Amino acid sequence: MDIHHLVTMANQIADFFCTSNPDRAEAVAATAQHLRSFWDPRMRREIVAHLRDGTDAADLNDVARDAVRLLANDSAAKKAV
């Protein structure tokens, strides 16, 4: 998958939820939930991998980055199970 494309999409989603939710934590949770609901697992894996690739995903906006961290926790939790 084209990571730049995924980043753009994640940032767009975060932009919507951070403008539509006054509470930042809710915006992060809603962004993460949107990614869970609509993104194929390989897309989520790649954006999580992007977060972990050493650059700390500087191209993701703050809300998107925190949402992807929630996804990373999902995958960590799955592995733990």
Partner 1 sequence: MLSKTDRDYGTPARTSATLVTLAIDGREITVPEGTSVMRAAALADTAIPRLCATDALEPFGSCRLCLIEIEGRNGYPASCTTPVEAGMKVRTRSPMLERLRRGVMELYMSDHPADRATCAGNGNCELHAMADAVGVGEVRYGWAGRNHLDAARDTSNPYFAFDPARCIVCSRCVRACEEVQGTFALTIDGRGFDSVVSPSQRQPFLESECVSCGACVQACPTDALIEKSMLERGLPQRSVTTTCGYCGVGCSFKAEVKGDEVVRMLPNRDGMPNHGHSCVKGRFAWGYATHPDRVLTPMVREKITDAWRVVSWDEAIGYAARRLKDIQTRHGNGAIGGITSSRCTNEETYLVQKMVRAAFGNNNVDTCARVCHSPTGYGLKTTLGTSAGTQDFDSVLQADVILVIGCNPTDGHPVFASLMKRRLRQGARLIVADPRAIDLVRTPHIEAAYHLQLLPGTNVALINAFAHVVLSEGLADEDFVRERCEGPAYELWKKFILEERNSPEAAAGATGVPAEKIRAAARLYATGGNAVIYYGLGVTEHSQGSTMVLGMANLAMATGNLGRPGVGVNPLRGQNNVQGSCDMGSFPHELTGYRHISDAALRASFEHEWKVRLDAEPGLRIPNMFDAALDGSFRGIYIQGEDIAQSDPNTHHVVAALSAMECVIVHDIFFNETARYAHVFLPGSSFLEKDGTFTNSERRISRVRKVMPPLAGKADWEVTCELSTAFGYPMHYAHPSEIMDEIARLTPTFAGVNYEKLERLGSVQWPCNDKAPAGTPVMHMGSFVRGKGRFVITEYIPTDERTGPRFPLILTTGRILTQYNVGTQTRRTPNVVWHQEDLLEIHPHDAEQRGVTDGSMVRVSSRIGETAMRAHVTERVPPGVVYTTFHHQSSGINIVTTENSDWATNCPEYKVTAVQVMPAGDAGARRATGQSAAAHPAAGR
Q: Which residues bind partner 1 (CB under 8 A)?
A: 1-2, 5, 8-9, 12-13, 15-16, 19-22, 34, 36-43
Structure tokens at 48: 């999580």
- Residue (42 or 79) nearer to partner 1, CB: 42
CB of 62 to partner 1, least distance (A): 16
CA distance 8 to 74: 22
CB of 40 to partner 1, least distance (A): 5
CA distance 5 to 50: 12
CB of 72 to partner 1, least distance (A): 16
CA distance 6 to 60: 10
- Residue (16 or 69) nearer to partner 1, CB: 16
- Residue (9 or 69) nearer to partner 1, CB: 9
CA 20 from centre of chain: 17
CB–CB of 17/27 below 8 Å? yes
